[in-house]
Amino acid sequence: MTADPQIRDSAVKAVHHQFRIVGAGPTGALLALGLAQQGFSVVLHDRLSAELLLNRSRAYAITHSSRRLLQGLGLWAGLLDQLEPFRTLRLDDCSAHRTAWFNVRDLRPGNRSSEAIGWILDHRPLMHLLLERLEASDQVVLQLNDAKPAEEALTTAGPCQWIVAADGPRSTLRRCAEVPFWSHAYQQGCLTAKLRLTGADQLCAYELFRPEGPMAVLPLGQDRYQVVWSAPLQRCRDRAASSSAELLSALNEILPDGLNAVQLLDDPGAFPLELSLAPRLHRDSLLLVGEAGHRCHPVGGQGLNLCWRDVSDLLHLTEAMRCGEMAFPSLARRYSRCRRFDLAGVLLATDLLIRFFSNHNPLLMPFRRLALFMLKHVSWIRRLSLSAMTDGPGALLKPLPK
Query: Residues 6 or more apart from 3 whose CB is under 8 A from it?
Result: 11, 324, 325
- What pTM, to 2 d.p., does this model score? 0.91
Instruction: Please name which of 246, 155, 143 lies closest in space to residue 193, comparing C-alpha atoms.
Output: 246
**3-state DSSP assignment of residue 22:** strand
Length of the chain: 402
141, pLDDT greater than 80 = yes
Quote the pLDDT of residue 157.
Answer: 58
More confident residue, 273 or 394: 273
Q: How far is CA 236 from CA 124, 230, 233, 250, in A?
A: 24, 7, 5, 12
Alpha-carbon distance values, 377 to 69, 327, 373, 380, 382 (Å):
33, 49, 6, 9, 9
Model pLDDT for residues 1-58, shown as the tens digit of each residue: 334 444 444 443 444 568 999 999 999 999 999 999 999 999 999 999 999 999 988 8
* Cβ atoms 179, 280 nearer than 8 A: yes
Other CB atoms within 10 A of residue 163 CB: 23
Neighbours of 203 (CB within 10 A): 14
Distance CA 10, CA 24 (A): 27
Mean pLDDT of the chain: 90
Residue 322's pLDDT is: 86
Strand partners, 283: 286
Q: Residue 154's pLDDT is what?
A: 61
At what angle are helices 331-357 and 365-377 packed, to 10 degrees?
A: 110
**pLDDT tens digit sequence for 310-361:** 999 999 999 998 888 888 788 999 999 999 999 999 999 999 999 999 888 9
Residues of the chain above pLDDT 90, percent? 78
> Rounded mean pLDDT of 358-368?
91
**Domains defined for the chain, CATH in brackets:** 5-83+123-183+275-367 (3.50.50.60)
